[in-house]
C-alpha cells in the first residue's frame, strides 16, 4: 500500500512539472482511489475533482466517466447518498453512451449500494443482479465478485444463509482468481460472520484467522477492525471475556483512526453490552446505523438508562429495516426486561 502511494505521488508530481495534463489526470485518479481506500476522503475528493476537470477540458469522456464513478465512491463512503447517486447515474449514462459494458456493470453495482441505503431493497437487489449478469457477460470478474458480495449481505440480512454462503463462496473464488487479496479477506470474514450466526464457532475462527492474516500482511488496517470485532464474538461465545474485550478495544482504537463509523459503532456496542457501559451505548445510540442504534437502545433499556417504552417504540418504528438476526436479538433483549 505505502509503496503504491509513493509511486503514484511521484508520477503525479512529475506530470505536473512537465505540464502533462493527460498524465496528471490519470495519476490524480489512481491516487484518489488509493486515498479513498485509506478513508482519506477530503484529499481524495480534491484529486478526483481535478481528474474530472482535466478530463472534461481535454474532451476525454472515458476519463470523465472514471472520475464520476470514483467521486461517487467518496461521497457514498461519507454518507452523502443523494450526491453519490447523482454521480453514479451520470456515470451510468456516460458508460452506456460510450458502449462501455464494464463501466455499466460497475455503475449498476454502485447504484445498487445507494438504492439499498435509501431503503429500496427490492430495486437494489435488481441492480446488483444486473451488475452480476453484465460482469459475467463481459468477463469482468472483479465486478462480479463485488456485486455477489452485496447480494450475499442482502441474503444474510433476510436470513437466507445458504444463499448468502453460495454468494460469498463465489466472491471468494473470484477474488482469489484475480488476486484481489483485500476482496479475498473480506469474503472470508463475511463467511465467518455466517458461521457465527449458525453457531459454528470453530469454522468461524478458522476463517477469521485466515482473513486477519491477509489483512495484516497487506497492511489494510481499516479492515482489520472488522475482523477483530468478529473474533470477539467467537471469544464471547466461548466465554473468554478477556479475549473478547481485548479484541474489541483494539478494534475500537483502529476504527477511530481509520473508520468506517459502522465498525467503530459495532465495537462500542459490543464493549458497552459486555461491560454495561451506558456512555458507550449512548454513543452508538446517536449514530446513523439503524441496526446498531436500535440494539444500543435496547441495551440501554436493559440498564434502565432509557425508558423501555422508548426502546420498544424505536424497535417497532425501524422493524422493517432490520435484518432477521437483529430483530430477534432486539426483541429478546426487551423480553428479558419484562420477565
Whether pTM exceeds 0.95: no
Q: Which residue has the higher pLDDT, 263 or 189?
A: 189
Per-residue pLDDT at 102: 97
Res. 1: pLDDT tops 60: no
Per-residue pLDDT at 3: 61
Per-residue pLDDT at 31: 87
Query: What integer best gives the mean pLDDT of the chain?
Result: 91
Mean pLDDT across the stretch 244-254?
A: 95
pLDDT digits (tens, 9 = 90+) for 265-321: 999 999 999 999 999 999 998 887 888 999 999 999 999 999 999 999 999 998 877
Per-residue pLDDT at 86: 97
4 confidence band (pLDDT: 50, 70, 90): low
Mean pLDDT across the stretch 93-110?
A: 97
Place of cell 447480494: 151
Sequential DSSP letters for 52-110: HHHHHHHT-HHHHHHHHHHHHHHHHHTT-HHHHHHHHHHHHHHHHHHT-HHHHHHHHHH
Tell me how far apart the 2 most distant CA atoms of the chain are, in Å. 74
Per-residue pLDDT at 212: 98
Amino acid at each position: 500500500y505505502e509503496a503504491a502511494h509513493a509511486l503514484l505521488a511521484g508520477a503525479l508530481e512529475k506530470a505536473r512539472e512537465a505540464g502533462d495534463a493527460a498524465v496528471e489526470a490519470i495519476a490524480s485518479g489512481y491516487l484518489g482511489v488509493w486515498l479513498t481506500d485509506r478513508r482519506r476522503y477530503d484529499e481524495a475528493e480534491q484529486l478526483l475533482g481535478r481528474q474530472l476537470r482535466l478530463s472534461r477540458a481535454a474532451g476525454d469522456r472515458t476519463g470523465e466517466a472514471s472520475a464520476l464513478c470514483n467521486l461517487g465512491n467518496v461521497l457514498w463512503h461519507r454518507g452523502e447518498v443523494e450526491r453519490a447517486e447523482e454521480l453514479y447515474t451520470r456515470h451510468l449514462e456516460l458508460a452506456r453512451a460510450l458502449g462501455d459494458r464494464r463501466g455499466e456493470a460497475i455503475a449498476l453495482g454502485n447504484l445498487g449500494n445507494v438504492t439499498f441505503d435509501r431503503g429500496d431493497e427490492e430495486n437494489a437487489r435488481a441492480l446488483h443482479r444486473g451488475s452480476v449478469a453484465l460482469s459475467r457477460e463481459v468477463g469482468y470478474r472483479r465486478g462480479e465478485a463485488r456485486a455477489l458480495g452485496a447480494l450475499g449481505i442482502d441474503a444474510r440480512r433476510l436470513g437466507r444463509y445458504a444463499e448468502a454462503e453460495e454468494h460469498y463462496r463465489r466472491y471468494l473464488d473470484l477474488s482469489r482468481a484475480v488476486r484481489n487479496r483485500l476482496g479475498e479477506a473480506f469474503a472470508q470474514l463475511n463467511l465467518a460472520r455466517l458461521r457465527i450466526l449458525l453457531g459454528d464457532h470453530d469454522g468461524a475462527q478458522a476463517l477469521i484467522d485466515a482473513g486477519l492474516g491477509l489483512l495484516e500482511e497487506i497492511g489494510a488496517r481499516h479492515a482489520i477492525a472488522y475482523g477483530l470485532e468478529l473474533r470477539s464474538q467467537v471469544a464471547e461465545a466461548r466465554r473468554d471475556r478477556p479475549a473478547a474485550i481485548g479484541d474489541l478495544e483494539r478494534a475500537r482504537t483502529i476504527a477511530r483512526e481509520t473508520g468506517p463509523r459502522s465498525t467503530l459503532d459495532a465495537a462500542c456496542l459490543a464493549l458497552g453490552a459486555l461491560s454495561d457501559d451506558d456512555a458507550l451505548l449512548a454513543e452508538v445510540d446517536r449514530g446513523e446505523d439503524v441496526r446498531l442504534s436500535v440494539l444500543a437502545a435496547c441495551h440501554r433499556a436493559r440498564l434502565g438508562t432509557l425508558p423501555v417504552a422508548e426502546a420498544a417504540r424505536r424497535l417497532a418504528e425501524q422493524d422493517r429495516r432490520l435484518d432477521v438476526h437483529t430483530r430477534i436479538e432486539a426483541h429478546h433483549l426487551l423480553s428479558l426486561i419484562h420477565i
